[in-house]
Amino acid sequence: MAKDVLILAFESSCDETSVAVVKNGREVLSNIIATQIKSHQRFGGVVPEVASRHHVQQIIHCTDLALKQAQVAYEDLAAVAVTYGPGLVGSLLIGLMGAKAISWAHDLPLIGVNHLAGHIYAANLVTPIKYPAMALVVSGGHTELVRVSAPGDFVILGDTRDDAVGEAFDKVGRMLGVNYPAGKTIDQWAQIGQDTFNFPRAMLEEDNLDFSFSGIKSAVINTIHHADQIGQTLNKKDIAASFQADVIDILVTKTKWALEKYPAQQLIVAGGVAANSGLRQRLQQEFAQQLEVVFPPLRLCGDNAAMIGAFAYIKYQKHQFATLNLNADPSLDFDYETLE
């Protein structure tokens, strides 16, 4: 029997320091996540310098804990993996330094992982990915439709032209007095409120798979300002429900178009916004009869190192190793393809 491949994985692209041990790309032996949300909340968003400092403080502790919880020693490892982009450069560098130091000291191959590939391969920790797959990546920094035609073969079909969907949730939340990150609360309010405002469905008149969320965000903000000026009190729950219905309609419609053009065996929903209950429900309703819809569990939707270990296994099998010169690439991306 082939020996199990144990990968020690690092994720530090934004405001979570995470270290995990993943077996054969499918089994999470440990997944330590140190979140910094409290430190950034008072600023209403992630402050890069603050994030880097936290990563420095947390990374060694998280590494020790990940190995201990997995009951794995350095000698048992097959490789070390790390997110090298996209993300905040200072934050990425801390993970890279940690991974490189271990790779060098223990003579282990180093694997550089694209953060988005990690989000998509979180699905592999739930059920084996079936190819071709379609991935809807929705997070605080990304909104993308990605076709995965074979292991590790990604093509972006649609992207956001401005704000990412999670960013829009956070900005609208801020206007409604909700602490960062606001997605979860907006989601809870949306379940109580009604879609009474009917905000414009942006980009649905255009024949492409791109997204735009800044117009919707502005429409919500204008509605709130206007009500303030005329002394009217708006029902925040209805605003949340109207905003969320709008966003979900756009995400679902563009996913439908993508699947019509590129049929797939699986739809993978990835990233922090994949936690959204309304989105989960609508995507199931629309697509579950046609193909398998995979939502990673909530703890694997947000940033975590287990997803990095899951994708690193694909690169390990292909012997796609990095040298110690691997650098952070804050705007690392996949290839693009335009819908004709």
Enumerate binding residues for ligand KG4 (CB under 6 A): 14, 139-141, 166, 169-170, 181-184, 187, 271-273, 275-276, 302-303
* Shorter beta-carbon distance to ligand KG4: residue 197 or 316: 197
* Shorter beta-carbon distance to Zn ion: residue 40 or 236: 40
The entry of Zn ion, ligand KG4, none near residue 109 (CB within 5 to 8 angstroms by kind) is none
What size, in residues, is the chain? 340
Shortest approach of ligand KG4 to residue 70 CB, angstroms? 23
Residue 265's φ and ψ, nearest 5 degrees, are: -90, -20
Shortest approach of ligand KG4 to residue 138 CB, angstroms? 8
Residue 96: burial class (beta carbons within 10 Å; 0-12, 13-18, 19+) = buried
Distances (CA, A) of 322 to 84, 100, 109, 110, 213: 11, 10, 8, 5, 36
The entry of Zn ion, ligand KG4, none near residue 86 (CB within 5 to 8 angstroms by kind) is none
* Shorter beta-carbon distance to Zn ion: residue 267 or 275: 275
Distance CA 223, CA 214 (A): 14
Shortest approach of ligand KG4 to residue 222 CB, angstroms? 22
* Shorter beta-carbon distance to Zn ion: residue 51 or 239: 51
The entry of ligand KG4, Zn ion, none near residue 166 (CB within 5 to 8 angstroms by kind) is ligand KG4
* Shorter beta-carbon distance to ligand KG4: residue 187 or 210: 187
Does residue 11 touch Zn ion according to CB under 5 A?
no
Contacts of 14 (CB under 8 A, 6+ apart): 46, 51, 87, 88, 91, 140, 141, 303
Contacts of 7 (CB under 8 A, 6+ apart): 21, 22, 25, 77, 78, 79, 80, 81, 111, 309, 312, 313, 316
The entry of Zn ion, ligand KG4, none near residue 170 (CB within 5 to 8 angstroms by kind) is ligand KG4
Shortest approach of ligand KG4 to residue 80 CB, angstroms? 22
The entry of Zn ion, ligand KG4, none near residue 160 (CB within 5 to 8 angstroms by kind) is none
Q: What one-character-per-residue DSSP string does 60-112 give? A: HHHHHHHHHHHT--GGG-SEEEEEEESS-HHHHHHHHHHHHHHHHHTT--EEE
Does residue 139 touch Zn ion according to CB under 5 A?
yes
CA neighbor of 271 nearest in space, from 150, 161, 167: 167
* Shorter beta-carbon distance to ligand KG4: residue 169 or 316: 169
Amino acid residing at 91: S
Amino acid residing at 119: H
Q: Burial code of 275-291, b = ≥16 C-beta within 10 A, e = fewer? A: bbebbbebbeebbeeeb
Distance CA 99, CA 246 (A): 41
* Shorter beta-carbon distance to ligand KG4: residue 198 or 281: 281
β 6-11/110-114 pair status: unpaired
The entry of Zn ion, ligand KG4, none near residue 183 (CB within 5 to 8 angstroms by kind) is ligand KG4
The entry of Zn ion, ligand KG4, none near residue 275 (CB within 5 to 8 angstroms by kind) is ligand KG4
Shortest approach of Zn ion to residue 309 CB, angstroms? 15
* Shorter beta-carbon distance to Zn ion: residue 163 or 303: 303
Does residue 303 touch Zn ion according to CB under 5 A?
yes
The entry of Zn ion, ligand KG4, none near residue 78 (CB within 5 to 8 angstroms by kind) is none
* Shorter beta-carbon distance to ligand KG4: residue 102 or 195: 195
Q: Give me 245's structure tokens.
A: 């219905």
Strand partners, 335: 155
The entry of Zn ion, ligand KG4, none near residue 158 (CB within 5 to 8 angstroms by kind) is none
Question: Cβ(34)–Cβ(18) under 8 Å?
Answer: yes
Q: Which stretch binds Zn ion (CB under 5 A): 208-216, 222-230, 296-304, 327-335?
A: 296-304
Residues in contact with Zn ion by CB under 5 A are 139, 303
